[in-house]
C-alpha cells in the first residue's frame, strides 16, 4: 500500500465512499498494530489500536489529502501512545503482601447468633418491632404500618423488649 493510495482512499471516504473508508481503516489497523507492538506491552495493543481508530473516525473531517494520510495517522497514533504511557504512570501499583491479614468474622457471627437467641426469648411482637426499627432501620411509623401496631405500642414494645434483653444479658438467663 502506498502513501498515495492511502490518501486517495481517505479522500474518497471523506466524500462518503464507505468501501474506501473500510479499506483505509483495514490498512490503518494493520499499521497501528505494528506501531504499538514496538511501543506497548501486548496487553495494551488492542485498546490502543481501538482508541486510535476511534480518534481517526472522530477527526476524519480534519484530514487534508495534500498532506498525506500516513503522517496524519502517525500523529494521531503518537498522541494515543503518549496518552497510554501517561495513564500507565498514573496507576498506583500497590503490591499485595503475602501475609495479608484477613478479618475473622467469628465475633460477628457469635454476636448475631446471641442476638437472635435473645430476640427469640421475647414476645413475638417485641422481637418483630426491634428487628424492624433497631436492626433494619425503619421508622416507628413504618414499623407500625407493617405490623399493624399503633405507634405508641411499637414504642412500648421496643422499650420493654430492650429492657428485657438487657436484664437477660446482665443476669445471664431468662427473666420473667
More confident residue, 27 or 104: 27
Give the sign of the dihedral formed by CA 29, CA 34, CA 40, CA 41. positive
Q: Burial code of 120-145, b = ≥16 C-beta within 10 A, e = fewer?
A: eebeebbbbbbbbbeeeebebeebbe
160 within some domain: yes
pLDDT at 4: 84
CATH number, residue 36: 1.10.1740.10
Encode pLDDT of 50-81 as tens digits.
999 999 999 999 998 888 889 999 999 999 99
Q: Is the pLDDT of residue 174 over 60?
A: no
Residues 84 and 141 in one domain: no
pLDDT bucket at 110, cuts 50 / 70 / 90: confident
98 within some domain: no
- Round to whole Å and give the CA distance between 14 and 35: 24
CATH number, residue 166: 1.10.10.10
14 within some domain: yes
All three cell numbers of 112: 448475631
107 within some domain: no
More confident residue, 145 or 170: 145
pLDDT at 114: 82
pLDDT at 84: 85
105 within some domain: no
pLDDT at 127: 92
Residues 10 and 72 in one domain: yes
Residues 83 and 8 in one domain: yes
User: What's the whole-number mean pLDDT along residues 84-102?
Assistant: 66
pLDDT above 70 covers what percent of the chain?
88
pLDDT at 88: 74
Residues 84 and 163 in one domain: no
- Round to whole Å and give the CA distance between 9 and 41: 31
pLDDT at 92: 56
Residues 86 and 160 in one domain: no
What is the residue-averaged pLDDT of the chain?
86
The domain of 144 spans 120-171
Residues 7 and 71 in one domain: yes
pLDDT bucket at 165, cuts 50 / 70 / 90: confident
Q: Does the predicted TM-score (pTM) go above 0.75?
A: no
Count: domains in the chain: 2
Residues 77 and 7 in one domain: yes
pLDDT at 50: 95
148 within some domain: yes
Residues 68 and 24 in one domain: yes
According to DSSP, residue 61 is labeled G
Q: Is the pLDDT of residue 176 over 70?
A: no
pLDDT at 6: 85
Q: Is the pLDDT of residue 31 over 80?
A: yes
Out of 72, 90, 108, pick the residue that ends a domain: 90
111 within some domain: no
- Round to whole Å and give the CA distance between 120 and 99: 40
103 within some domain: no
Following DSSP, what letter does each residue of 27-75 receive, concatenated?
A: HHHHHHHHHHHTTS-HHHHHHHHHHHHHHHHHHGGG--TTT-HHHHHHH
Amino acid at each position: 500500500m502506498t502513501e498515495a493510495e492511502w490518501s486517495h482512499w481517505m479522500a474518497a471516504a471523506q466524500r462518503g465512499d464507505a468501501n474506501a473508508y473500510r479499506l483505509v481503516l483495514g490498512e490503518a489497523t494493520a499499521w497501528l498494530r505494528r506501531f504499538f507492538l514496538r511501543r506497548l506491552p501486548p496487553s495494551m495493543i488492542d485498546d490502543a489500536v481501538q482508541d486510535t481508530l476511534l480518534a481517526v473516525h472522530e477527526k476524519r473531517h480534519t484530514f487534508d489529502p495534500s498532506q498525506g494520510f500516513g503522517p496524519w495517522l502517525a500523529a494521531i497514533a503518537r498522541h494515543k501512545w503518549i496518552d497510554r504511557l501517561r495513564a500507565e504512570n498514573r496507576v498506583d501499583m500497590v503490591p499485595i503482601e503475602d501475609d495479608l491479614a484477613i478479618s475473622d468474622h467469628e465475633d460477628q457471627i457469635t454476636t448475631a447468633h446471641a442476638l437472635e437467641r435473645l430476640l427469640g426469648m421475647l414476645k413475638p411482637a417485641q422481637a418483630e418491632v426491634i428487628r424492624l426499627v433497631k436492626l433494619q432501620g425503619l421508622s416507628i411509623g413504618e414499623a407500625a404500618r407493617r405490623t399493624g401496631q399503633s405507634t405508641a405500642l411499637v414504642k412500648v414494645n421496643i422499650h420493654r423488649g430492650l429492657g428485657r434483653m438487657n436484664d437477660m444479658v446482665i443476669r445471664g438467663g431468662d427473666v420473667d
